[in-house]
Amino acid sequence: MSTKQEYLIRYKDGNLYCELADIWIDPRKPVKKALITHAHFDHFTFGCEEYISTKETAILLKERVGDNIKIKTFEYEEEFKINGIIISFHPSGHILGSSQIRFIFAEEKWLISGDFKLQKDDTCKQYEIVKTDYLISECTFGLPIFKWDESNKIANDISKWITNSPEKTSLLFCYSLGKAQRLLNEISQTNFKGNIYSHGSIHKMNNSYRELGIDIKDTIKIENKKKIDELKGSLILLPPSLSKGSFLKNFKNIQTAFASGWMSIRALRKRSGYDKGFAISDHADWDGILEVVKKSEAKNVFFHHGDSEALSKYLVKKESINVLLFGK
């Protein structure tokens, strides 16, 4: 078995790094060359000399941070070479434009899963099974207590939650990019036919999705001086950052909810401070991670993002898969 130094991709200063290509993956510090798996801010940092991503990710990033960054883009599956290493993006099903990244060098395949999910999501490309020798996977929800319900069931629950309190304004907190659009898409297929408002940050992303050819229901941008009566019985999508602070004082008679995979656990739901939690996630659940590990046919697996202790032990004991640890 190869030692840490010989790995094609390793951890360096807390980031994934490929020394042979001198390229970083989703670095959290400014570097020369950065591969970006998707446009969430915890996978991106300012100040890199060059970014490389899918076309959709590049457009979303520029929409969020401005045109002032240098991004090279590639289509899914399109192979490109850096220092003799063949690199390609593959759909990861997390959000629009999100990708897994495959490296091929000297007959050895490496796959970085990026953030991914297998569940149905009409607002982005379905996860693609990619075969690999080495797999670096996220494991945000790496415990078997995480088992997602179908997203249309959650959407129906949300619809019921709103319509059961017609005298209230329902504030649903969710990430502005990806989760919000997926929810809009699902909610528009439920019985809820009232008005949907969204915060500026979400509104902007909706427009970008539409420009990229994704059919997203039109929402009304929430302005500061809306008449309170008008909002009765309607749904407002807001980013989680607004849940604490004075913003909520703009509304009267509200009920709040948070859409996140963590909400499947009662203790976390109670601690979150929201009235209600809807367990819907853009990350894979336990079964999802296991499926990807198995179908990728990887002989060696690394985990990052999340507590992987139980998952690793399970794979080693039950599936005889070699789980490796990164030296940090």
Interface with other proteins (CB under 8 A): 143-147, 264-271, 275-277, 286-287, 309-310, 313-314, 317-318
Give the shortest CB-195-to-other proteins separation in angstroms: 23
Q: CB atoms < 10 A from the CB of 188, how many?
A: 16
Closest CB to other proteins among residues 144, 200: 144
Closest CB to other proteins among residues 70, 313: 313
Give the shortest CB-44-to-other proteins separation in angstroms: 23
Closest CB to other proteins among residues 228, 310: 310
- Main-chain dihedrals φ then ψ at residue 136, nearest 5 degrees: -110, 110
Give the shortest CB-324-to-other proteins separation in angstroms: 20
Burial class (CB in 10 A: 0-12, 13-18, 19+), 327: exposed
Give the shortest CB-283-to-other proteins separation in angstroms: 16
Closest CB to other proteins among residues 7, 161: 161
Closest CB to other proteins among residues 252, 313: 313
Q: Where are the beta strands (DSSP E) in the chain?
A: 9-12, 15-18, 23-25, 33-35, 50-54, 71-74, 80-82, 85-91, 99-105, 108-112, 134-138, 169-173, 196-198, 220-221, 235-238, 254-259, 276-278, 300-304, 322-324
Whole-number Å distance between alpha carbons of 33 and 237: 35
Closest CB to other proteins among residues 249, 317: 317
Give the shortest CB-309-to-other proteins separation in angstroms: 8
Give the shortest CB-263-to-other proteins separation in angstroms: 10
Closest CB to other proteins among residues 256, 296: 256
Q: CB atoms < 10 A from the CB of 124, how many?
A: 24
Q: Which residues of 243-281 are buried (b: 16+ CB within 10 A; e: fewer)?
A: beeeeeebbeebbbbbbbbbbbbeeebeebebbbbbbbb
Nearest to 82 by CA among 105, 108, 59: 105
Closest CB to other proteins among residues 177, 280: 280
Residue 6 Cα to chain centre, angstroms? 30
Give the shortest CB-238-to-other proteins separation in angstroms: 18
Give the shortest CB-79-to-other proteins separation in angstroms: 38
Is the Cβ–Cβ distance between 288 and 311 less than 8 Å? Answer: no
Nearest to 14 by CA among 28, 4, 3: 28
